[in-house]
């Protein structure tokens, strides 16, 4: 029978991927733009996305449908909890304040050449700013 006709909670496997927790004793470094981006996302979820889904749920419940939109609301609430926790523990580091520019430091943009002579530029960032978090389906090479 389809889950649409059964009032059972979704399994944990159906829930969206959640990035890993910061290990105890490790600082959660983040650059000012990364911190601002997370704050903007949190604000958008709290002020726009969540109220819209709650209104839709209220409308659906008024029509006898109690399941409609619940999954999306759980996703939003989970992301809000995650962002709130990470922002509380964030240690904002401004790379412009660094004095030792001859060393690689958090927030630095570094250009290097690999063994084949290919030049690459990277920026050293924390876990919440990295583009390639270990998510299911990601290919790391």
Query: Rounded CA gap, 2 and 93, in Å?
Result: 49
Assigned token pair, 98: 């660094």
Query: Rounded CA gap, 1 and 115, in Å?
Result: 57
What mean pLDDT do residues 23-41 have?
91
What mean pLDDT do residues 29-44 have?
95
How far, rounded to the nearest angstrom, does the alpha carbon of residue 67 sit from its chain's CA centroid?
A: 26
Q: Which helix (H) or strand (E) holds 110?
A: strand 109-113
Domain boundaries, the chain: 24-123
How far, rounded to the nearest angstrom, does the alpha carbon of residue 53 sit from its chain's CA centroid?
A: 20
Q: Which fold has domain 24-123?
A: Helix Hairpins (1.10.287)
How does strand 90-92 pair with strand 28-30? Answer: parallel
Q: What is the pTM of this model?
A: 0.71
Query: Rounded CA gap, 72 and 15, in Å?
Result: 10
Over 70: is that where the pLDDT of 9 sits? no
For 134, other C-beta atoms within 10 Å of its C-beta total 11
Please tell me the predicted confidence (pLDDT) of residue 54: 92
């Amino acid at each position: 029978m389809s889950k649409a006709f059964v009032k059972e909670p979704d399994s944990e496997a159906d829930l969206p991927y959640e990035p890993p927790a910061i290990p105890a004793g490790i600082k959660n470094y983040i650059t000012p733009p990364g911190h601002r981006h997370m704050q903007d996302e949190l604000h958008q979820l709290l002020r726009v996305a969540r109220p819209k889904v709650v209104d839709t749920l209220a409308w659906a419940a008024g029509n006898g449908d109690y399941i409609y939109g619940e999954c999306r609301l759980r996703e939003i609430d989970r992301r809000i909890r995650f962002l709130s926790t990470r922002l509380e523990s964030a240690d904002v580091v401004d790379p412009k304040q660094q004095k030792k520019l001859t060393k690689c430091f958090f927030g630095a943009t570094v250009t290097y050449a690999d063994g084949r002579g290919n030049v690459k530029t990277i920026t050293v960032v924390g876990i919440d700013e990295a583009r390639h978090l270990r998510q299911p389906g990601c290919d790391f090479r």
